[in-house]
Amino acid sequence: MKYIQLSHGGGGEETNDLISDLFYKYFNNEILLKAEDAAVLEVENKIAFTTDSFTVSPIFFKGGNIGKLAIAGTVNDLAMMGAKPLYLSSSFIIEEGFSFSELETIVISMRDELAKSGAKIVCGDTKVVPKGSLDQIFINTTGIGELKSTEISAHNIKEGDSILISRDLGRHGATILAAREGIELVSDLGSDCETLWPAVEALVEAKLNVKAFRDATRGGLAAVLNEWAQSSEVCIEINENLLPICDEVKGICEILGFDAYDFANEGTFIIAVAAEDEEKALEVLKRFDFSSNAVCIGTVSSERPKKVILHSPWGSRRYLELPKGELLPRIC
């Protein structure tokens, strides 16, 4: 069994071998292989630029791993601005003694996830720290994308718009929590970790009057809707009985006292679209396996600006507030 040693981060022969035998092998592209101190990029139009760091625990989980999550997470942040993902950087901080085979599995998953959007890793960095300095491996990815729409913004939502969700809620958070707590489920529950650009691209190309996209990561649906209500100074009214939540997620929430609206997702996004384009948007979303059960969950009003109202099946209603405290650390 081969393990990562401190010398792999020392800048010498072992570092060069690691870069050549692993990163160049799986992230192979002409920009990266030039091995310059900085990548030289060409972009014709306005760009979107984002960065994120990934520390998820456990690093391998049903439906993905830290590598798949690092690519999907950064690519999705670009996609949510209507930007086609083009170039990524990737930096690894690895604990001494980490298994080389597990690192290779992570890198392969990153390569496979990149293929879904066509983005390329064009630069990166590797650091190895002494055993005990961190928990196995952390990854940072930074992304650049070319804007395909300049009309996407959390500030553009208006009264009368429809609120759509691409799939069921809470899978990533529930999967991570079940893995940490040793909860064994007789089911196929796994993370929804997925690259969302193909569906976003189709929505943009359909020239629908989409106001905003947002992937419901940390803080889940509750965080997204409250941020939108604040940014656009509107009231967002949601029908609780329309929210898609699978039985396994409901069960974990009931057992441990969590709310599925607050759970993180890594392949679920929320769409604000003009009411006249609601049905067309749903038709586009349902072309893709990861959004085949997309649904409209509510509308935008002016009743209580900057508030989110949740309507229950029994006719009552309450405010859906921003999550408070640290619901679940190291979720991504």
The mean pLDDT value of the chain amounts to 95
Same domain, 303 and 244: yes
In which band, very low, low, confident or very high, does the pLDDT at 324 lie, cut at 50, 70 and 90? confident
Say yes or no to pLDDT of 167 above 80. yes
The residues with which 307 forms a beta bridge, in sequence order, are 235
Same domain, 90 and 199: no
Domain boundary at 84, 113, 147, which?
147
Is the pTM of the predicted complex or chain greater than 0.85?
yes
Cis peptide, bond prior to residue 58, ω within 30 of zero = yes
Domain boundary at 117, 147, 177, which?
147
Please tell me the predicted confidence (pLDDT) of residue 180.
Answer: 87
Same domain, 167 and 311: yes
Same domain, 171 and 263: yes
Same domain, 173 and 143: no
Please tell me the predicted confidence (pLDDT) of residue 258.
Answer: 87
How many domains does the chain divide into?
2
HEC per residue, the chain: CCECCHHHHCCCHHHHHHHHHHHHHHCCCHHHHCCCCCCCCCCCCCEEEEEEEECCCCCEECCEEHHHHHHHHHHHHHHCCCEEEEEEEEEEEEECCCEHHHHHHHHHHHHHHHCCCCCEEEEEEEEEECCCCCCCEEEEEEEEEEECCCCCCCCCCCCCCEEEECCCCCHHHHHHHHHHHCCCCCCCCCCCCCCCHHHHHHHHHCCCCEEEEEECCCCHHHHHHHHHHHHHCCEEEEEHHHCCCCHHHHHHHHHHCCCHHHCCCCCCEEEEECHHHHHHHHHHHCCCHHHCCCEEEEEEECCCCCEEEEECCCCCEEECCCCCCCCCCCCC
Range of the domain at 90: 6-147
Where residue 197 falls (left for φ over 0; alpha for ψ -120 to 50; beta otherwise) is alpha
Distances (CA, A) of 169 to 10, 138, 143, 221: 43, 26, 26, 8
The pLDDT of 29-50, averaged and rounded, is: 94
53-87 residue pLDDT tens: 999 999 999 999 999 999 999 999 999 999 999 99
Same domain, 61 and 124: yes
244-256 residue pLDDT tens: 999 999 998 888 8
Same domain, 304 and 258: yes
Task: Say which CATH number the domain at 310 has.
Answer: 3.90.650.10
Same domain, 210 and 251: yes
Distance CA 168, CA 179 (A): 19
Same domain, 167 and 76: no
